[in-house]
Structure 1
Amino acid sequence: MKADRATDRSPAVQRSRARSAQQMTAITRAAYRLIQEKGTSFTTQDLTKEAGLALQTIYRHFTSKDQILLAVVEDVIAEQGAQIEAAARQLPDPVARLRFYITGTLDSLRAEDHSGPQFITAEHWRLYQLFPDEMVQANQHFADLVERELREAADLGMLRPNDPAADAWFVMKLVMSVYHHYAFATAKEPIEDIAEQLWSFCLSSWGGESGPGKGQQE
């Protein structure tokens, strides 16, 4: 066991792992660029050219195209979640942060180009059937953020959630449903108005009140 730990810490092993991580990142980023250009119809030849890697290198990390698409979806969800979490840190209280998480998730729908949201939506349920555990894990971060803020808001007497963990799960599914719908459907009103309606629905279910100082940004 000590020999294994020593091997893990060796410079050669560390360099190999770093190189492997760099290659996987290059593959998923190249795949995402191709998705934006061609959709999911890109070929492995397209990917080798875009990533600048040999085909055998790609298959060393991913055994199928679906695994590559799964990695892209995981990366997109993780990056969006990290951006929303980082941006919310400056907000003054858990209710304001909850509002930001829920409304901010729909921000990418404001752009005229919906290729990113449409890719996520189209692939989401298909990949759920192939990789259910991985997809559950990919989406869990958002639910964890909501649960954390719900618990803090309840402790401060600002909201009255019935069950923070269960409420967070249902909110995650509700936000996902709205996101998936408007990734393809034409919105009859501005996305920001739809986002505020979604937030108002969630807030009222927790016994909160809208308005300045009560979860709304002034």
Structure 2
Amino acid sequence: MDVVATPRRTPHARAPRVDAQRNRERIVAAARDLFTEVGRQAPIDEVARRAGIGNATVYRHFPDRDALVLAVVHSVLKRAADRAEAAMAQAEEPFEALSRFVLAAADEQIGATCVMLDGAYDPGDPEVKVLEERLNGLLDTMLARARRAGLLRPGIDRDDIFVGVAQLTRPLPDLVTVRRGSRRYLQLFLDGLRAPGYTALPVEN
């Protein structure tokens, strides 16, 4: 009787894939922070140093700077949308959901990152389009709910939110916004969005 040998399974067979994914996430996180601080021309050597890995590992995951920039944009948009979903699920009332999202978007550096990387990636990238549509849809839902509840001043749209977050969270060394922290100004921004008690917005031609 012939005995068919069964391939032996090693307990660490999946380890390389897990390690590779972890390294990729560390690279993207390090690049996001560095690009936000100094711009998209930040040295790849510094990205590797902050991620705690070698340059060769960075280039194994991302063959060039453009690929790394695009991965950062994908990550920021996805994480921001995840935070938007969480805000709507956790908040007890519509404006609270919007407030949670604004603060979470600041934590994710969505506005600052996109401002610093503007023009550095293809906005027509299929995954970027899908991620943007998801995020925009979630934010539009939050705004519509707050508007129906009478908690949002008239004329506010998603662009107001993104511009406000971007302006209040982008790095501004040596200015009072850094010394006091952006959350103070984000809260002032949120108070300006709340109804009633607002001043009519100017009409732009």
Q: TM-score, normalised by structure 2?
A: 0.57
- Give yes or no for the alignment of 1:134 onto 2:120: no
- Give yes or no for the alignment of 1:107 onto 2:103: yes
What is the match of residue 122 of structure 1?
116
The number of residues matched between the two structures is: 169
TM superposition shift of 1:21: 0.7
Mapped to 1, the partners of 2:32 and 2:195 lie a distance apart of 34
What is the match of residue 47 of structure 1?
47
What is the match of residue 85 of structure 1?
85
Identity of aligned residues (%): 18
SS in 1 for 2:90: coil
Counterpart residue type for residue 48 of structure 1: A
What is the match of residue 161 of structure 2?
175
- Which structure has the larger Rg over C-alpha atoms? 2
Alignment CA distance shift 1:50-1:179 (3 Å): closer
Q: After superposition, give the CA deviation of every residue in 1:50-81 in whole Å (9 maximum; x if it has no partner).
A: 32333332222112212222322333343344
Mapped to 1, the partners of 2:121 and 2:194 lie a distance apart of 26
Is contact 1:48-1:55 (8 Å) kept?
yes
Mapped to 2, the partners of 1:127 and 1:134 lie a distance apart of 15
SS in 2 for 1:40: coil
Mapped to 2, the partners of 1:110 and 1:52 lie a distance apart of 25
- Give yes or no for the alignment of 1:194 onto 2:189: yes
Mapped to 2, the partners of 1:136 and 1:199 lie a distance apart of 30
User: Which structure is higher in helix share?
Assistant: 1
Counterpart residue type for residue 60 of structure 1: R
Q: After superposition, give the CA deviation of every residue in 1:7-32 in whole Å (9 maximum; x if it has no partner).
A: xxx97664332122111012112223
SS in 1 for 2:53: coil
Counterpart residue type for residue 195 of structure 1: L
What runs of 5+ residues in structure 1 fail to find an aligned partner? 1-9, 161-169, 202-218
What is the match of residue 22 of structure 1?
22
Q: TM-score, normalised by structure 1?
A: 0.55
Alignment CA distance shift 1:60-1:192 (3 Å): same
Counterpart residue type for residue 41 of structure 2: S
Counterpart residue type for residue 96 of structure 2: F
What is the match of residue 152 of structure 2?
none
Mapped to 1, the partners of 2:42 and 2:143 lie a distance apart of 42
